[in-house]
Structure 1
Amino acid sequence: MVFARNSAMAFNRYLDRDIDAKNPRTQMRDIPAGRISANEALLFVIINCVLFIITTYFINNLCFYLSPVALFVVLFYSYTKRFTALCHMVLGLGLSLAPIGAYIAVTGAFSIVPVLYSFAVLFWTGGFDIIYALQDEDFDRGEKLHSIPATLGIKNALRLSVVLHVFSALCVFIPILLTPHNFSWFYYVGVVFFCIMLIYQHLLVKPNDISRVNRAFATANGYASAVFAICFLIDAFLRTNYHF
């Protein structure tokens, strides 16, 4: 995961270096600011891609065979703002591979079990990336870049973000509805906290006030993911070892 994320983020900075240089919000990123060169960033991408594929070889065959597919998805995202407003969902698709990838890494097989959590990540990421993109609505329009805020406007973009986050919340609730006796109260706490953080970020950002976008995007989602993951792991440990 670390190597894939390194590759994707560095490739995004490499590919968007000219765009970042024009955008006042991103002019101080490492490449436009001259702290690293474009070639150095590209070399970093290549090294991490190779390390990612090598690492999957030592996990199991299925991970290894699917590793180029995963890399394609996470790298392809960086191109999408050039031709589709659905770029936020492509980012979500890339991150949504994590639950499926983790399951395959542990079991060596594919299952429908982690797909629900992948959908949760897909909708969650799409929703919060729309919020993040509010900052660049005018710039994206001026540069003919595609995003939901640039296409629909801030008010409608926020409405769509709410819808996506409702779907995300449903995806983490559905396992409880299907098998209510299979979870400890730790999972319930994680789900409730996750949903509270989804609501909180929408209370922070309004159509006429996007000054707290970074708090909504980074802080709220950081807490949401960390607490839910911890609660999920504790729940899994208790159910596996103590039949809690």
Structure 2
Amino acid sequence: MSIRRSGDSPGAAALPDAIADHALLRRAPPALLPFLQLARLDRPIGWWLLLLPCWESSAVASGALREGPNFWHLTLFFIGAVVMRGAGSTYNDYVDRDIDAKVERTRLRPLASGRVTPRAALVFIVAQCLVGLAVLLSFNGLTIALGLISLLIVLIYPFAKRFTSWPQAILGSAFAYGALLGWTAQTGAIGAPALFLYAAAILWTIGFDTIYALQDLADDAIVGVRSTARLFGPRVQLAVGALYALSVASAAIAVLLAGGGWLSYLGVTAYAAHLAWQTAQTREDAAPATALRLFRSNRDAGLVLFAGFFAQSVASLF
């Protein structure tokens, strides 16, 4: 893979939405650093948000079947989420490289700044997808088929902001897909609890990605990029609150349909409390640092929901 250097490269190790002191940035060889950034390995929140619906669904299915947690599946989903988040991010940057060069927050990204060539990025996408395929082939046939279908959503997403004010909904359809895969991998069929978990995760994603988009309101208006943040405008707090409330309701229905359990409902309650805290701080004029902090906090929102489901699946053994 070839890398082009540019005048921007000295500052590229500290992209605005990255963790500046991330161990990978400190220890990675200079030649690999742009590819770590393409894969968003310096921004682990992305793969967490892709992983958590998988884990949540797997845990709910394990509890419903009274089989206890499937640690092998949880491990496979972890590997798959990291590499497929990397592949999706690289593809998104490849498609958006010209737009990214015009936006302050993204202009130093490896493709936008010219530190990685488009051809090298395509090779990197293929390499990551091959790892993801190996993970997917470890599951049953239905899960494999559903996983392959999800690629269609991933391919569409980078173009969505050009023709709709709801690109966050398309992103949600992709990021939430693990809510189906976790269930089918465990049960071999699509069930109603999985569908409600999928809806919960889509609504959650639209909400937190709207918060994320608040960082770019001014630049997006200049370059013509659409988003729910721009669409909701001064009503963004109300809209995010409504999306989060519907997400909580969908998660609660999924638990009910899967057989309930007080530990699962405790997880839903903690999830609801975290989302309410986020909503209370969401404003159209929120500082970029505040929007990024709220967005990143969704790892914890997803983890408390998963913790309740996981504890319920363990309790189902007794």
- Which range, TM-score by smaller chain? 0.7 to 0.9
Structure showing the higher helix proportion among its residues: 1
Q: Which has the higher contact order (CA 8 A, sep 6+)?
A: 2
Cα gap change, 1:72 to 1:198, in 2 (>3 Å): same
Q: 1:40 to 1:158 in 2, by over 3 A?
A: farther
Q: Distance in 1 between matches of 2:231 and 2:260?
A: 43
Residue of structure 2 in register with 1:205 after alignment? 282
Take 2:139 and 2:265, find their aligned partners in 1: how far apart are those partners? Answer: 32
Identity percentage of aligned residues: 28
Gap change, CA 1:112 and 1:173, over 3 Å in 2: closer
Q: How many residues align?
A: 237
Post-superposition shift, 1:175?
4.2
Question: How much has 1:177 moved relative to structure 2?
Answer: 5.5
Structure 2 runs not aligned, ≥5 long:
1-79
Q: Deviations over 1:93-143 (max 9, x none)?
A: 111210111111222222222111111100000011111111222222221
Partner Cα separation in structure 2 for residue 47 and residue 176 of structure 1: 37
Answer yes or no: is 1:107 the counterpart of 2:187: yes
SS in 1 for 2:192: coil
- Report the counterpart of residue 224 of structure 1 in structure 2: 301
Partner Cα separation in structure 2 for residue 177 and residue 71 of structure 1: 30
In structure 2, what is the equivalent of residue 187 of structure 1?
A: 264
- 2:247 aligned with 1:168, yes or no? yes
Matched, 1:145 2:222: no
Q: Distance in 1 between matches of 2:238 and 2:195?
A: 25
CA shift in 2, pair 1:19/1:65, >3 Å: same
Q: CA deviation at 1:233?
A: 0.8
- 1:88-107 matches, within 5 Å, as 88-107=168-187
Give the conservation status (yes or no) of the 8 Å contact 1:7–1:75: no
Q: Which residue of 1 aligns with 2:315?
A: 238
Deviations 1:5-45 (A, max 9, x none): 22212211211111111101112222223443332222221
Mapped contact 2:192–2:254 kept (Cα < 8 A): no
**Segments of 4+ moved more than 4 angstroms:** 175-179
Give 1:83's match in structure 2, choosing from 163, 175, 189: 163
Structure 1 contact 96–122 (Cα < 8 Å) conserved: yes
Query: In structure 1, which of residues 118, 124, 132 is the aligned counterpart of residue 198 of structure 2?
Result: 118
Tell whether the 8 Å contact from 1:169 to 1:195 is kept in structure 2 after alignment.
yes
Q: CA deviation at 1:176?
A: 5.4
Corresponding residue SS for 1:199: helix
Contact 2:232 2:239 in 1 (8 A): no
CA distance in 1, matches of 2:183, 2:253: 19
Contact in 1 for aligned 2:94/2:121 (Cα 8 Å): yes
Equivalent residue, structure 2, for 1:128:
208
Gaps of 5+ in 1: none
CA–CA distance in structure 1, aligned partners of residues 203 and 278 of structure 2:
15
Taking the aligned partners of 2:270 and 2:166, their CA distance within structure 1 comes to 28
TM-score (norm 1): 0.88
